[in-house]
Each structure stands twice: as structure tokens, then as C-alpha cells.
Structure 1
Amino acid sequence: MAWPFSRRRKPAPRTGWVPPEKKPVDKKPGKKPVDKKPVDKKPVEKEPVEKAPAPPRVGALRRSRWLDRQGFYEPRVRGIKSTTRQAEALNIAVAAPPTSPRGLIIGQDAETGQSVVHDPFEAYAAGIITSPNCIVIGDVGKGKSSLLKTWAVLRQLLLGRRVVVIDKKLDGKTKEGEYAPAARRFGVEPIKFTLDGTGSRINVLDPAISAREAVGEASPAGQAMLLRAVLAEALERPLTPKEGKALRVAHRTALRRARAQSREAVIGDIVDALLQPDADAARDARVDVDRLLEWGYDAAFELERMIEEDLAGLVDAPTSANVNLDAGLTVFDVSALPETGPALPIVMSIINTWLMNVLANQDEPVQTVFVVEEGWHLIEGSFAKVARRNWKLARGLGLCNVVALHHISDVPADSPAIAMVKEAETVFIYGQAKEDDARECVRLFNLPSTAMNILLELPRGTPLVKIGTADPIIVSHLRSDLEVELTNTDAAMAGTGVIVRDEETDLGSVEVNA
């Protein structure tokens, strides 16, 4: 049935009073009008003028009288004043979802309130990014650990992925790594490293780590590269060519002697081979035995000291049986190792190299997320080359490296690790306290110039997220109740212990209020 008001009605005939025609009136009475003879005028022929064709009518809409009387064509609500900046939210194209819907939720867009979802593996498959590696940067207390524990660990496990964590931060209340509660919630016991000999050990010469260094960068770092990094850390300087030659010969000798005794070689065998060079090995290397011994003296003595002091109980035996990737979550607890000294960076580099070699030799690739808290230990000094080589293999190994740093200034400008930071295509930048750090983040990650002030004012738990070449997003990180429980790192600051004075001995004792 057609809308009744859409019909075109015929116009109504005109009605009403019409004035009569006016006749000429003689103004002077008594005078008869004079008849004038008409004058014959020749008609003037005019040239025909071509009229332009009328433009076609494009179905103009007609206003209905009835709807017009009802006010249908007039605004019913009075408008409001706004600005172009505020009106952007009314544009659906501007307020579209900031990320792809495929992946793991991070939080909410602080401007639009929409969900921010990202997963490096899904984004790589979709062509959004070309590198699965991630960098998390921010001052202490800004929320980096909460993001790592939730988005990079707990939520990844829900997808059946393997997660490996180097837990560096010590929980002041439990006196162990902060990831221990989460690991035990999943039925996993953390692998703890200590200097008192009661913890686990990891061997530099573990058979899982390739003994022969492959040419190029198509394979992970092997034992030789790791040994050079460890020895350079012990000497606190790069190795000389002669020391490097002595180390290579000692490495081959140590492996051959251990194989002859049907056992696994350890780093102590390197020291013995440096101090007692093999004549056959020296001849194969075209070097005199005495000269080879002289070249390796400094390296042997310093490496021996490090094994007995700095690395005691860490690398002086075969790898412990509990160091494996059998569980979905593997936590290496290195929180008991001292902040200063070579123990922490050496153990972290050995774990990193061991993991890369295990992944390279697995029969069926498994998507793996490798999380490193306070990663500056891993990318400083002589270990930067090792980390750089392992970092570049992420795509081939199905690996996503997630490294947390406090400041960009933690990475020396001439370090190979600066390339690692630049290659990361998923970047989380939390609040920066110093303008220099904020300015360096803007420069390094090619952020808009206006991002500098934003980085200086970001509140806790709100990072600036940059994914691939997309515009950065300010994200409010969201956590569930369980995640809040497992990521609470303020137990020590919220402690209820008090000092109670003993009047007799005048000694203080601690009383804990449960």
C-alpha cells in the first residue's frame, strides 16, 4: 500500500473575487471623444533566438503540506555546542576498534573505552608485525610486572603455549621470586639458583647446547660463544687473539677427555685443559705446547677463581635434572643471586642460550614466550652479542621474547643490544620520570613529538602501546581478581610487623599481626 501523502494532487481551481476590467473614462464632460485613425505599422521581423534546453530535473523532493504543518521538517531538539576535538568521537571511523579482535586482551583504550587486544603470534600471522619480540619500559612501580605476569604469562598459558620466565625480582615477604606463587598455582616448582650449593645448577657445556659454533646467524649461540662471553666477564676485558686460540684448543680437549671417561664435560675441565694442554691438540693447532700454556695462564687462573667464588654452586657440575621444559610454565628463580658481580648475567645468559638450543632441536615447534624481568642484566657487557644472536632467531623458533627494562639509558648506545630494542615491534612504555628518557623513547620508537609530555604524565598501570606501524594507544591495563592476587608485589610495603621492646633485655623483637 502506497503512502497516501506521496500522491501528487492536481492543483485546485482558483476561486474568489476578480476585479472587472477598467474602461477609459472621459475626464472632461460634454466633449466627445475623437476617433483616431489607426496607423498602419509594418511588422518588424525578429531573428529567431535559440533557447537553451532546460536542465533535467533530478527528482527534487517535495515538502508535504500536512507534514510541514506538523513540524516534520524542523529540528525537534535544540542542538548543543561542541568542539572539533570532542566531535571526533561521533565519527565511527575515528572511534573504530584500535586493534584487531584476535589475541589476548590487554586493557581498555583510555580515550574511547574500547578493548585493546594483541597477541604477537596472531599479529605476525596477520602481517601486522614482522617481529614477535616485545619490549616493556618504565620506572619502578609503574606496573610493568603486572603486565608481564598477566598478559605475557597467565593469559598465554590459557592458549596452551609454553612460557619460560627468568624471575629476577625478590619478594620481600616470601624471600623468593615474585613468580613463585603463580608457578605453584599451576603445580610447578620454580627452579632456584643460589650461591650456597643448595640450588639448581646449569652447565655451560651442557650437551643440549651445541658444541660446534655454526657459521652465520642461522643457529643459536653455542658453547664456544658462551665460553668467550664468560671468560671476558671474568677478565673484565675482551679476549686477546692468543687467549681466544688457547680457549678454543682447551674446549676441544675438555670435550674429548670427558667423552673418553663417559661423562659430561663441565667448565672445570676447561681450566684443566688450559693449565695442562694436550700435545696432540697443540700439534693439530700448529702451536707449541709451552706457548699454548703461556697464552692460557691468565684465562685459566681467572676462570678458576670465578668458579670457586662468584659462580660457586651454579655452573660447576652437570645441569640439574629439574632444569627442563616438561611443564607448560618454567620459572628460573635467580632472585637470590647478588645484583653486583658476574653471577647474575652469566646464569641468565646460560639459561638463554640453553633455551634457544633446546627449541632449535625440538621435533615439533611449540609457540613459546620467554619473559625476562630486568633484562638489562642480559644485554650488558660481553653478553649483549649472545643475546643479540639468540634474539634474531625468534621467528624461526616460534619464540616471543618479552624483555623488561627500566630506562632506555640502561642500554649503552654502542651496545649490540640497542638493535634488539629497535627491532621489537610491540612496545609498552610506562611513565618516565626524566625528560631525557622520555625524549629517547620518542626518538628510538619513532613516536609523535607530542608523546613526550604524555610519557611524563602517564599514571600507574597505564602504558603507551605501539604495535607495528600503527599509531600509539594509551591503554588502561585490566586485571581479574585472581590476577590481582597473583601480581601483588607490595606485600613487604604493606607488612604488619612491629617492633616490641623487651624491658628486661632492651632488645627489640618482631611481632607479626596476622
Structure 2
Amino acid sequence: MSKHAPLIPAGEDDITPETPVKGTRRGVPTAVQAKRKPRLASVPLLRIFVPPEALAPAITGEESMPAGDVPAVAVVPLARAADVSPFELPGSRLRVSAGSASRGWYAPTISGAPTTTRQAEILNTGIIGAPTSFRGVVNGRDNLSSTSISHDAPTAYNQQPRELTSPNVLILGTVGAGKSSFTKTVMVIRPLLLNKHRAVVFDKKDQGGVGEYTAVVQRMGGTHLLFNPDGSGTRLNLLDPEIVRGTGLRGQGALVNAVARIVRDDTPSSVWERKATRYALQLAFQSFEDGRVPTPSDLLPFLGRVPSDKELSKKAADRFHQAGLTIQYALDDLLEDFAGTFDGETSKDVDLSQKLTTFDVSQLPDDGPAVPTVMAIGNMWLMGRLRQERGFITNVVYEEGWHMIGGPSSRLVKSNQKLSRSLGISNVFVMHKGTDIPPDSPGYTVVQEAQTIYAYRQDRDEDARWVTQTFNFAPDTQEVLMNLRPGNCVFKFGSNPETHMQHIRSQWEAEVTDTDEAMEAGASAA
């Protein structure tokens, strides 16, 4: 006898699903809820269109009950599907004809294993979606889902609604972690393929007597501006007219005081010094209104002059004079050491006519005021130039970005944040570690406002802790940061959770962005 309760014949259509039909199990009367079979079930050729569950025997849940547990007389409640656990059901064929099923018709004959929704999640890879949209440029691959990560800070900032509140980008990592090759590929090469995108790079790392971005300029086409300590290279005028056009006399005065602060080992300018600088600039620009462009040497004689219309006391006039001389002496020291770099009109090849422009400061001394001064003047020059060429998105990459956000120039960056966004500038700061930035520096605010973070390996525990706390990473990310392999980073944008990403390059990109060719050449020669 079958283990299952007897079924209702297919022809008795007058029986409803609610009609209990008595049966027996081990000689004990039972009540089984009858199932109404479809009419097609009685037609041999059409039975294949009947769902398998309609042909399955009714299940009461008593099939596995031991004989000793069955009472002499029992009235069993009507069986329902919810009364029987799926783990107690016997496997059933998914199709009537095993031969047809083996040839691929309708469904396989293999019985599925009972499971739960939680267990079956891993079988559906669709639930592991990409952490980003398709907009922007490809950054790399998500190590969790193996999906592509695409992101471009200006593109995300310009979305409606905005995905970011700031287009600035911060890239951190120890030497050899892969941040340089990533910056060249994702922040320079790939964005140049987008419409109305260009890049300006302050190139600090020496590679064979020139900056490491020189190969990128040669392959992509662009302008390479080389600054030499002997003055034989490119020159930037501290008083270039583009600076006044961009930020006015206030911005020009802030730049002069920032350069003086760089020369004086981060000694800030006093109120008197700022007033004396502003007055000297007014006199200098008035003197050259109808002639050539003034230069720093032209400004020096005006520093220390006292306004005659202010009716200052003798003591105040003397203090005003001394304040101007202090700035004069600072600028004079700079021009004595780097006259060919800063004393004179800006070189004609300093232009944004190409989609890629590099300010190569790799040959300037690591210590001293030259590198941060070029970055400061270049930043303000860009502000003025971009006012005349609106409509472009410009990635401005600062290699060794500490000079801009950790040093005296941080006030310039902070004060020009709003203007930078309106001009389509996305500042990209590349540096080794964030602990170099003083917490009370204006640059620290710039870091906190950055909405796109790429954190490569951090060797020291305090550096990894700084990244985790500053950008609100999950606590366990601190250990991840200290064990990242080269080419891998922790990526975060906006309020989205961080993602473990691997940077992927094509063979051509790897050749162009290689920064270890000197080491490899030495190894092959050995």
C-alpha cells in the first residue's frame, strides 16, 4: 500500500478542496484534505502541461510517525502545507516524463535540495551589486563582488541631486603602494578622454632628470614646463596679471604674504605687514598701468613706503615702514636664490592650450621655498586663467600635496575653495600620510571636506588610525590599511561605506605610468 493517503479520482470534479476524505494509516482513520486535480491530468498527452505539484499526493505530516505513537482511535486535523516542514517532504520529480526532462524539456528531473532563503542568498550573485554607478571613469575592481568601480569626482559633484559636496580628492599611501600609477591613470590619462576635461599636474618626483609625468605628456600630448634651479627653465611671475584677474588685489596680496611666509619658515604675516604689502601693490600696479607687466623686483622698492594720506603718528608710520621692509627682505632672499625662476615675466609657454599641462618641479631642491612657491603661484595663476576659459573641468594634481594643504599655502587653498568649485577645479592632493598636517591648520579643514578618498597602505599604526578616524571608516579598516598589497586601496566617496578596491591597468597604461623603471634597469644590469 502507498505511504500516502488515497487520492480523489480525477473525474470527481464535484469534490472541493475543503472536503475532508477519510483514509487510514496503519489501520487508524485519518482525515486528509482532498485536492482537486485539473481536468488535463486525465488526458495522457496533455498531462505534461500540468504542474507537478498538482499531481503530487497529499501530505499529512504523519508519514514518519512511529507505529507506537499512533493511538487506537485518532482524528487527525486537516493537513495544510504550512503544517509540514520542507525538510520532511520527500523529493519529487519536476516533470512527469523523465525522458523529456533529460532532453531539456520544461524542467530537469533532478530533485532540488530543501533550503531556506538565507542559505540561498549566496546562490544568487545578483544581490552583490557594484558599489558605484557606471558614471565617470573606471577606477578598478571591487575585491568583494569582482564588479567594476567607476568614479569621477567632478562628474559625481555635478549630478542632480549631487552625490558629493566637494570635488576635491585625497590620495594617501606609503612609498611603493601604487598611488602614483593610480593617480596618473585615473586622475590624468582616463579623464582626458572625457569631453571638456583637462589636467594640470605639479610634478615633484624625479625620474631620469625630469618629472615622472614627462612620459605621460609625450604619449598623450601636452605642455611640459620644467623649472630649473639655475633659472634656465620656466619662469613664473609673482605679479602675473592673471592672478589679479582671478582673485583681485586681495588675492594678490594674500599670495605675496604666503610666499613671504614660506621663505620665513612658516612665520605668518602680521596685520601691519599685510597692510604694507597691499599698499605697495597698489603703488606698483599704478606705476606700470601703461607699460610692461610689473615683476617682484619692481615691487621691492614700494615695500616700506608709508601712505601720506593716512595721517599716521610718527610711531605708527615707523611701524608701517618696518612691516613693509620685513616683507621686502623676505622676497629679496627668494629672488637672490631663484631669480631666474621667479624674477621676470611669466614664460610664454605657460599656457592651458593643451588638455594636459605639467609644472615639473622635480629638479628644484626638496628643502627650501622653491617647490611650495611654484605651487602657490601656479594655483593662483590657474584661478585667473580659468575665469576666462569657463566650461572646462580641470583636475589639478598636487604631487607631494602636503606643500599645499600642510604648509603656508593652505590658507590660499582654503580661501579659494568656493571659487575653485565655480571654476570647475577638482584639486587632487597626493601625499604619504595625513599625520603631517597640523590639526589647527586651514589645510586640515580642506582634508576633512574632501569627499573622495583613496587610502593605500599605511605602514605605521598611527597613520592608519588617522585615516580611519578622519574619514569615518569602520574600526576594522585600520588593520586592513596596514596589510594592503601594492595596487590595492580602500576607496570611499560621499557618505557611502568604504570599498576594498584593486586598481587595474591596461598594458599600455602600465608602460606609460611605470615609476620603477630606474630600479628595474639597475636590476637587469646586475
Q: Give the TM-score, by structure 1 length.
A: 0.77
Cα contact 1:369–1:401 (8 A) shared by 2:
yes
Counterparts of 1:285 and 1:328 in 2: how far apart (Å)? 52
Q: Is 1:375 the equivalent of 2:375?
A: no
Counterparts of 2:311 and 2:116 in 1: how far apart (Å)? 81
Counterparts of 2:145 and 2:324 in 1: how far apart (Å)? 64
Equivalent of residue 166 in structure 1, options 181, 202, 207: 202
4+ residue runs over 6 A deviation:
65-75, 80-84
1:12-27 to 2 correspondences below 5 Å: none
Q: Which residue of 1 aligns with 2:360?
A: 333
Kindly, what percent of the aligned residue pairs are identical? 35
Aligned CA distance change for structure 1 residues 74 and 348 (closer, same or farther; 3 Å): closer
Cα contact 2:246–2:380 (8 A) shared by 1:
no
Measured after TM superposition, the shift of residue 284 of structure 1 is: 4.9
Aligned CA distance change for structure 1 residues 242 and 128 (closer, same or farther; 3 Å): closer
Counterparts of 1:196 and 1:451 in 2: how far apart (Å)? 46
Q: Which residue of 1 aligns with 2:241?
A: 207
Counterparts of 1:187 and 1:408 in 2: how far apart (Å)? 33
Q: Which residue of 2 aligns with 1:294?
A: 322
Gapped regions of structure 2 (runs ≥ 5): 1-7, 14-32, 39-50, 58-92, 102-106
User: In structure 2, the residue corresponding to 1:475 is in which secondary structure?
Assistant: strand
The one-letter code sitting in structure 2 at the alignment partner of 1:96 is G
Of 323-332 and 294-303, the range deviating more from structure 2: 294-303
1:219-252 CA-to-partner distances (Å, cap 9, x unmatched) read xx72111011112223331223332222222111
1:422-461 to 2 correspondences below 5 Å: 422-461=448-487
Counterparts of 2:523 and 2:169 in 1: how far apart (Å)? 39
Aligned CA distance change for structure 1 residues 235 and 211 (closer, same or farther; 3 Å): farther
Of 296-305 and 404-413, the range deviating more from structure 2: 296-305
Q: Which residue of 2 aligns with 1:269?
A: 298
Counterparts of 1:225 and 1:89 in 2: how far apart (Å)? 59
Q: Which residue of 2 aligns with 1:47?
A: none
Measured after TM superposition, the shift of residue 456 of structure 1 is: 1.2
Counterparts of 1:192 and 1:454 in 2: how far apart (Å)? 39
Q: Which residue of 2 aligns with 1:233?
A: 262
User: In structure 1, the residue corresponding to 2:242 is in which secondary structure?
Assistant: coil
User: In structure 2, the residue corresponding to 1:107 is in which secondary structure?
Assistant: strand
The one-letter code sitting in structure 2 at the alignment partner of 1:350 is I
Equivalent of residue 313 in structure 1, options 340, 343, 346: 340
Measured after TM superposition, the shift of residue 285 of structure 1 is: 7.3
Of the two structures, which has the highest relative contact order with CA contacts closer than 8 Å and spacing of 6 or more?
1
Measured after TM superposition, the shift of residue 424 of structure 1 is: 1.1
1:96-135 to 2 correspondences below 5 Å: 96-124=129-157, 125-126=159-160, 127-135=162-170
Of 243-252 and 418-427, the range deviating more from structure 2: 243-252
Counterparts of 1:414 and 1:102 in 2: how far apart (Å)? 36
Measured after TM superposition, the shift of residue 490 of structure 1 is: 0.7
1:374-413 to 2 correspondences below 5 Å: 374-413=400-439
Q: Is 1:361 the equivalent of 2:388?
A: yes
Aligned CA distance change for structure 1 residues 190 and 214 (closer, same or farther; 3 Å): closer
- How large is the Cα RMSD of the aligned pairs? 3.4
Of 282-291 and 412-421, the range deviating more from structure 2: 282-291
Cα contact 1:162–1:367 (8 A) shared by 2:
yes
Measured after TM superposition, the shift of residue 475 of structure 1 is: 1.0
Measured after TM superposition, the shift of residue 74 of structure 1 is: 11
Of 240-249 and 477-486, the range deviating more from structure 2: 240-249
1:163-219 CA-to-partner distances (Å, cap 9, x unmatched) read 111111111xx210000011012332410111101011111111101279669xxxx
Aligned CA distance change for structure 1 residues 287 and 115 (closer, same or farther; 3 Å): farther
Counterparts of 2:313 and 2:294 in 1: how far apart (Å)? 24
Equivalent of residue 180 in structure 1, options 171, 195, 214: 214
Q: Which residue of 2 aligns with 1:283?
A: 309
Counterparts of 2:422 and 2:209 in 1: how far apart (Å)? 37
Q: Is 1:344 the equivalent of 2:374?
A: no
Measured after TM superposition, the shift of residue 259 of structure 1 is: 2.3
Gapped regions of structure 1 (runs ≥ 5): 1-6, 13-53, 216-220, 499-511
Measured after TM superposition, the shift of residue 361 of structure 1 is: 3.4
Q: Give the TM-score, by structure 2 length.
A: 0.76
Q: Which residue of 2 aligns with 1:136?
A: 171
Counterparts of 1:10 and 1:213 in 2: how far apart (Å)? 92
Counterparts of 2:521 and 2:405 in 1: how far apart (Å)? 34
Cα contact 2:281–2:299 (8 A) shared by 1:
yes
- Which protein has the bigger helix share? 2
Q: Which residue of 2 aligns with 1:45?
A: none
